[in-house]
Chain A
């Protein structure tokens, strides 16, 4: 049990941060009561909503044209023997042929595939980094079931070696770092560009909304039940959630009133700030949840309090309620390809989960929740796709690529910035040395915002974190 004990804790912790608000509906109606006593600072203006701003700046790149390459555009499109041009950090053009600017670096992509960079909506790089020693394990504030006050970005160690593996082996260019799943409300997530920086803020994806990690099921009830306190059951999970949301509605009403009408400012509560942000549509709910019946309950709880679940993470039983997910404002499911059986609530996992969601028109995506899996998300999709095809569900390779890029971008509300190769979007691009759904293929080059940050042919374009510098194997292929 030793190994599994560790795995369970990690998994439990990791699964708690997946509740984004895909709906993004403003919820300001709750502040309508009351006499106007004057003029407040204005809605959303009483205090800073961005006290730890991104300092990320894209690195320089050269205008680059990749020719004669197979292209998955990330939105279901495929071009054979096509070209893609990017410059100044943005996608400029793609098509069968693209005119070559005089200053462009031209790369022959014959036999290779070009895709948008992979987005992992569920990672714990940085807050559960390697080496996985207690001194660096900062993913679960498992001291109370509601810790909406904590922010994952305050735990992220930007020297985690895992970021480099996700880039060089996995072609991952954007990732959401979540708190763990020990708690019902585990805290805020943060979205990062996969670019090493001295500070976490230097990696922070500019303009990406925050998420609130929530968790249902086994983990919260186990963690707190074992401490002899609520919740120790699934009904306890929902009870504590609802009581907390009820308080958040009240908190938000007071602040909305103050911001509108002025008067004496209510007391700040850092955790309630986050929940009020969810209720106003500013923060997305990313909800760890495995079982179909529990996801259904959570969606009704969200309606009761006026928020929307952006994505259920893990969601191994999503295939049982693909229709319900779709009906609930297209609540997304972020899943694994073939993880199963490691805990009771993962017992009914099947390899066709993604394909069945797609078949039923639901929003589906792959995720890793794992420092190894994040290096092979393309391979995970290949397995899921093949399982679906064997079950008679025909999905094209190009559509399956949506599970890796545009769908997670949508569930993170960054699909206007990245996740596909549309002109004007960030030039987050991977050139694969073959078909990325083959086990024999690896990233050859990875660009983030148009900057070449990995090149398999150039050992100097291989990042080495501070932790690995000067260690055995420093700078080695990994």
Chain B
């Protein structure tokens, strides 16, 4: 962590006004899958959690907030998003998703594109999302580039960890990007990793063949930490047979840390996923055969693969992923609903909440930093006015890195302007 932080000091957010605060009398959720604790306390000092639980002493002189018995949890960690790199999806100029005519692919680093002024950031912050895993989209290669982990704080430093992972498309989109077939995608993968190996062996003699190269120098360099397992490789894959093919491929690249994203048919190969120790960032409620890659889709997917021993968190790939991470709470709640449905497999509440907090953090290699209220984690804390997975619940307070966050959004301002639709003494443009 330290090395990374030094290398990317300019991009990495550090709490400007890190606060020290204690929240007491809470229905406290740690986020690690354990049950809520009645009458709990969480203490945050200099932006980090010092202690959380029942009977935790509040040090003298610390600002104390009485939660009045309300739910207090770690902030939501959105498991797969395009947040902060798109303002309006339909307005191309506002999007930095993919670069169709760029010669670069794996080397693309999404971090500089993350814009803390994107409307999605305050909107999702106001609904309890405090961190997001942000991926670029692919164009012209199976490799999309390097994604980041961001915070949703109101400062101008959104990036928590740049170059946190490489993102790759397989299945329908990967095949298309590789020239038209899955075998072509596998060939592209093997060739890229062979070139990355050449690069790693002797960077100074790596021949850059320019635009005509199958892999640019920069792309080869970007894949070196993926090949060595220092940087996770998130792979979008939905079809059961594709997952098996990737598990086979991984045997030739044992150091590569694959994480499957989507994985609609994961339940059909759950034992193999578990044996290969491949974690999953799943789309919780995919239950239609949107493509022939997803014929076996069911909302019970997450519950079934978890029951098989797979580590599984929730993400929102290709599901309004630039703006609607807030829906992950609803999705997690729906997985709890399945536990009452005969024949279905869901998650209990504690596991469902972990699937949108600690699990995505662990999957991306940041479980020690974010996603729970265990001691040492960043002080990302949310106070809710009810069960955070319930549809009617609102947010009372959000802390990121221990800093209390503003919650008002552009939407709130529009609402207030039109609470009475008619104009008053002046046009609406004067009401603010």
Contact = CB atoms under 8 A, between A and B. Distances in A.
Interface of A: 1-4, 7-8, 130-133, 161-162, 165, 169, 218, 319-324, 338-344, 347-352, 356, 360, 371-372, 375-376, 379, 382-383, 385-386, 389-391, 433-434, 437-442, 456-457, 459, 467-468, 471-473, 476-478
Nearest to A386: B392
Contacts of B265: 472
Interface string B63-96: 0000000000000000000000011111110010
A467 to B, nearest CB: 7
Interface residues of B, number: 65
A437 B88 contact: no
B418 A382 contact: no
Given A169-B287, A438-B390, A477 B414 contact: no
A323 B289 CA distance: 42
Contacts of A322: 421
Contacts of A342: 88-90, 320, 323
Nearest to A371: B288
Interface string B103-132: 000000000000000011001000000000
A347 B391 contact: no
B120 A473 contact: no
A165 B288 contact: yes
Nearest to B95: A1
Nearest to B239: A472
Interface string B404-424: 000000010011001101100
B391 A437 contact: yes
Contact of B414 (A341, A350, A438): A350
A4 B411 CA distance: 22
A111 to B, nearest CB: 11
Interface stretch (B42-50, B199-207, B214-222, B296-304): B296-304
Contact of A478 (B240, B297, B327, B342): B297
B137 interface: yes
Interface in B331-386: 333-334, 336-338, 340-344
Contacts of B119: 341
Chain B contact residues, majority secondary structure? loop
11 contacts: A131-B290, A132-B291, A165-B287, A344-B90, A350-B415, A386-B393, A439-B330, A439-B337, A471-B295, A476-B298, A478-B288
A350 B300 CA distance: 32
Contact of B392 (A350, A385, A473): A385
B281 interface: no
Nearest to B329: A439
Going nearest first, the 9 A-B pairs with the smallest beta carbon separation are A439-B333, A343-B90, A386-B392, A472-B296, A382-B391, A4-B89, A473-B296, A3-B318, A477-B344
A167 to B, nearest CB: 13
B291 A131 contact: yes
Nearest to A433: B340
B391 A456 contact: no
B227 to A, nearest CB: 27
B225 interface: no
Given A341-B323, A371-B288, 12 more contacts: A2-B137, A130-B289, A132-B291, A341-B119, A342-B88, A344-B91, A347-B88, A360-B421, A433-B340, A473-B295, A477-B338, A478-B287
B288 A161 contact: yes
B391 A471 contact: no
B173 interface: yes
B321 interface: yes
Interface in B279-322: 285, 287-292, 294-300, 318, 320-322
Nearest to A160: B288
Given A1-B92, A343-B89, A350-B411, A356 B418 contact: yes
A190 B300 CA distance: 33
A55 B285 CA distance: 34
Contacts of A339: 320
A467 B140 CA distance: 33
Contacts of B296: 471-473, 476
A457 B342 contact: yes
Contacts of B421: 319-324, 356, 360
Contacts of A371: 288
Classify the interface of chain A: helix, strand, loop or mixed.
loop
Interface string B249-265: 00000000000000001
Given A386-B394, A477-B298, A349 B411 contact: yes
A348 B295 contact: no
Given A169-B287, A372-B285, A352 B321 contact: no
Contacts of B97: 1-2, 4
Given A321-B421, A360-B421, A473-B296, A468 B90 contact: no
B411 A340 contact: yes
A428 to B, nearest CB: 22
A456 B342 contact: yes
A379 B297 contact: no
B290 A130 contact: yes
Interface string B134-145: 000101000000
B386 to A, nearest CB: 9
B343 A459 contact: yes
B98 interface: yes
Nearest to A459: B343
B340 A442 contact: yes
Contacts of A132: 290-291
Q: Which of A437, A438, A468 has the most CB of B within 10 A?
A: A438
B287 to A, nearest CB: 4
A440 B91 CA distance: 36
A340 B321 CA distance: 12
Nearest to B334: A439
Contacts of A390: 394
A437 B298 CA distance: 22
Nearest to A345: B90
Contacts of B415: 319, 350-352, 356, 391
Nearest to A465: B289
Nearest to B412: A350
A457 B393 CA distance: 30
B332 to A, nearest CB: 9
Contacts of A434: 340
B297 A473 contact: yes
A446 B204 CA distance: 69
A319 B418 CA distance: 7
A1 B270 CA distance: 31
Given A132-B291, A391-B415, A1 B391 contact: no
Nearest to A381: B391
Contacts of B139: 2
A391 B419 CA distance: 9
Contacts of A352: 415
A322 to B, nearest CB: 5
Contacts of A218: 90
